[in-house]
Chains A and B, each alone.
Chain A
Amino acid sequence: MAAASVVTVRGATRRYGAIKAVDGVDLDIGRGELFGLIGHNGAGKSTLFKMMLGLVPPTSGEIRIDGENVRGSGFRAVRRRIGYLPENVVLYDNLTGLETLHFFASLKRVSAAECRAVLERVGLAGAAQRRIREYSKGMRQRLGFAQALLGRPQILFLDEPTNGLDPEAIRDFYAILRGLRAEGVTMVLTSHILAEIQERVDRLAIMASGRIQALGTVQSLREGMDLPLWFDVRVAPEDFEAVRAALGHLPISAIEAREDHVAVQCRRESKMAVLQALASLDDRVLDLHVREPSLEDVFFGFSD
């Protein structure tokens, strides 16, 4: 992991007076990885984000990107390869979308020609000449994303990138991220919409009280938590008792009769045994649905 790691965080701590906003965080993010950072407001993820970009100096610890200390003078060259979308950024109202990109492109030494291509990519080509004052919230967010894409960055930091986007725009946004991942771009993003991030990131970290409480793939987090599964077994009402009988010898944590099905809760290790027991009921089982614990369950399990 360490050899391929793009972002290396070692013991990063940031104090504000007596409060530790970020408390001894260790993290490695690999090249080409799509990494999610989740946590409640005040969990410390925005501060950690700013520390990773060298905007907030750590009280102690060290952060490196591409081997370069983010607080060192050598980091300037790395900045050219970084794209950043801050949370709730307000861009300059009096400029047009294209002028805004020209301004940032000039700071990043990117050709003006690339600005149009980037606007095209985020679906704002038609609004290029309109002033940002006339943009909707979603359009502003897309322009912020366009700005982050200038200069073909190899590392993207996206703080709440889908804020204010409608479902269709969110889909388009993740389609762009998939394209970038195929190009080998490393991406770190935060989101409050857990269901959204759950399906899309390679790995994620759950932050609470300034610490990383859990780190891994969605699957490994679920397994690590050993949260119970639910089986929704659809059977005719007269077969409800048969289901109960078939599962009687197994360590079931709950079994409830619902309107048109029986809901069965069990630990992960009993999953196959339950399935086999249900199979013995043959065609009396009309349908079967397995509910895995959602990331919300994992999230709230850790954050409490």
Chain B
Amino acid sequence: MEIAQVGTIAGKEFWDRIRNRWVLAVALVFTVFALVIAYFGGAQQGTVGFRSIEFTIASLVSLVIYLIPLIALLLGFDAIVGERERGSLDLLLSMPITRFELLLGKYLGLAAALTFSTVAGFGLVALVLAPQLDPVALFHYAGFVLSSVLLGLAFLSLAVMLSVFAADRTRASGLAIALWFFFVLVFDLLLLGALVFTGGTYGGEIFPYLLMLNPADVFRILNIFSLEDVRSLYGLATVFPAALANPWLLGAVMLGWIAGPLAIATWRFRT
């Protein structure tokens, strides 16, 4: 593999997103939402203003779990199929570059743009909140940002995979929305439905493991389990096996969600 070729493709993808202000727009969305949630998230309880980092993170998790998968899928769905439809894929592949280098370059460039937006957007919020945060809170917040980046990269990987499979851009965008719908909305309902249907007698023990099949759920568990208050609030500690709550294990599952779809995409793109 020639790293320079991967870098050329990645560089173009990244700078394209900087130039068309995609990175700026997404970073701003994150900043604004995070600030609004930090200051007004407690309004239902009758208080306005920053309360605690734990409640802020818990609210942000609910937002990010919808937003980041959508942004990542929209960012990556036409990575390959867009080039194919435009006729430039043949041109790119006639260059001294392998299909794997092209795919990896595309992914890394888009991943850099998404990571940059996420870190910049939420990082700005950390700067604003910094005077009110102790090191432990800051550590939790950093964990939240890191897991958000991983969530984005996992869904970006899924997006690039479907951009290899889809016959045209229209179908790719449809598939992207369907994937979002499935992982963010339908998956949990299906699990819940299965649990209710079996009366909880059957799927009870495997239920937490099934959550690993959805990167959005992995993200949720990662964040909620790092927070003592929230965990007791949700009453989760009793039903969830401690082994699965290990952040390193969950992080590894996320990395699997990044590598897996990319590997499938590489396999499919080869032929």
A residues apposed to B, CB below 8 Å: 50, 53-55, 57, 76-77, 79-80, 82, 84, 86-92, 94, 103-104, 106-109, 147, 157
Contact = CB atoms under 8 A, between A and B. Distances in A.
Interface in B59-90: 86-88, 90
B87 A90 contact: yes
A108 B8 CA distance: 10
B16 interface: yes
A53 B94 contact: yes
Contacts of B88: 86, 89-92
8 contacts: A55-B93, A84-B90, A84-B94, A86-B94, A91-B88, A106-B4, A108-B96, A147-B91
B96 A89 contact: no
A287 B128 CA distance: 94
Contacts of A104: 95
B95 A50 contact: no
Contacts of A82: 94
Contacts of A147: 91
Contacts of A87: 87
B91 A84 contact: yes
A90 B89 CA distance: 10
B96 A76 contact: yes
B96 A79 contact: yes
A115 to B, nearest CB: 14
Given A94-B20, A103-B8, A106-B8, A79 B95 contact: yes
A54 B92 CA distance: 12
A55 B97 CA distance: 12
B19 A76 contact: no
Contact of A77 (B19, B86, B87, B96): B96
Interface of B: 4-5, 8-9, 12, 16, 19-20, 86-88, 90-98, 271
B97 A107 contact: yes
A80 B87 contact: no
A55 B87 contact: no
B260 to A, nearest CB: 26
Given A90-B86, A94-B19, A79 B94 contact: yes
A22 B90 CA distance: 18
A290 B259 CA distance: 70
B20 A55 contact: no
A155 to B, nearest CB: 11
A86 B91 CA distance: 6
Given A84-B90, A84-B91, 18 more contacts: A50-B90, A55-B90, A79-B95, A80-B96, A84-B94, A86-B90, A87-B87, A89-B90, A90-B88, A92-B16, A103-B12, A107-B5, A107-B92, A107-B95, A107-B96, A108-B95, A108-B96, A109-B4
Contact of A88 (B16, B19, B87, B98): B87
Nearest to B8: A106
A104 B97 CA distance: 11
A265 to B, nearest CB: 45
A26 B87 CA distance: 27
Nearest to A87: B87
A186 to B, nearest CB: 15
Nearest to B271: A57
A55 B96 contact: no
A48 to B, nearest CB: 14
A68 to B, nearest CB: 12
Nearest to A53: B94
Nearest to A106: B8
Nearest to B88: A89
A157 B95 CA distance: 12
A76 B94 contact: no
A189 B124 CA distance: 55
A14 B150 CA distance: 42
What 9 A-B pairs have minimum CB-CB distances, sorted nearest first? Answer: A84-B94, A79-B96, A90-B86, A107-B95, A89-B87, A106-B8, A86-B90, A80-B96, A76-B96
B256 to A, nearest CB: 29
A76 B16 CA distance: 27
A103 B8 CA distance: 7
A52 B4 CA distance: 26
Contact of A94 (B16, B87, B93): B16
A91 B89 CA distance: 10
A53 B93 CA distance: 9
A222 B95 CA distance: 38
Nearest to A144: B91
B84 to A, nearest CB: 11
A103 B5 CA distance: 10
A118 B94 CA distance: 19
B102 to A, nearest CB: 9
Given A94-B16, A94-B20, A103-B12, A76 B91 contact: no
Contacts of B92: 107
Nearest to B105: A107
A53 B91 CA distance: 10
Contacts of A54: 94
